[in-house]
Amino acid sequence: MPPPINHPCLNLELLAGTYFVKQFPAHEGIPTETLQRLSVVRATSTGPGLFSVTRTADEISVVGDAPGDDGEWKCIKIAGPMDFGLTGVVCSFTIPLRDAKVPVFAISTWNTDYVLVPKEHAQTAVTTLAKDGWHFVGPEGSA
């Protein structure tokens, strides 16, 4: 499904670097080594980075920048900011990836969405989305 509207807020950017995605049991909390890793990466990062913690009754999910190229995930950012009345963006974005058998891990923020894909699927994701009508901008426009 192509983007629901033709607007710059739906341009895509393949972010530089790689990312990690970790899951922990909710009752155990985030391990100290993961918190330390986040602090080290954050202290040495030259860009704004990506850091997300989501806690539910069942789990804690943590996403962050990986040092160097050590991460197993690449991240595609939808430019945003998107109006809350705009619907179907994540659906339109993920259907072609599903059809191409590209796994996704999506994170939504107030302004936009970030979709992580395993780095071995990054080029397929970029090619698939471009063929579907999504527009990539920025220096990392290809995997």
In a domain, 138, yes or no: no
Range of the domain at 78: 8-131
| DSSP character string of 74-94 | EEEEE-----TT--SHHHHHH
Residue 36 falls within a domain, yes or no?
Answer: yes
pLDDT per position as a tens digit, 79-128: 888 887 778 888 999 999 999 999 999 999 988 999 999 999 999 999 99
Domain membership of residue 20 (yes or no) is yes
Tens of pLDDT, residue by residue over 53-87, are: 899 999 999 998 887 777 899 999 998 888 877 78
Contacts of 23 (CB under 8 A, 6+ apart): 59, 60, 61, 62
**What residue type is assigned to position 44 of the chain?**
T
Residue 141 lies in a domain: no
Phi and psi dihedrals of 72, rounded to 5? -100, 0
Query: Residue 69 has what DSSP assignment?
Result: T
The CATH number assigned to the domain holding 54 equals 3.30.2130.10
- Answer yes or no: is 81 within a domain: yes
Coil/strand/helix, residue 102: coil
The pTM is what? 0.84
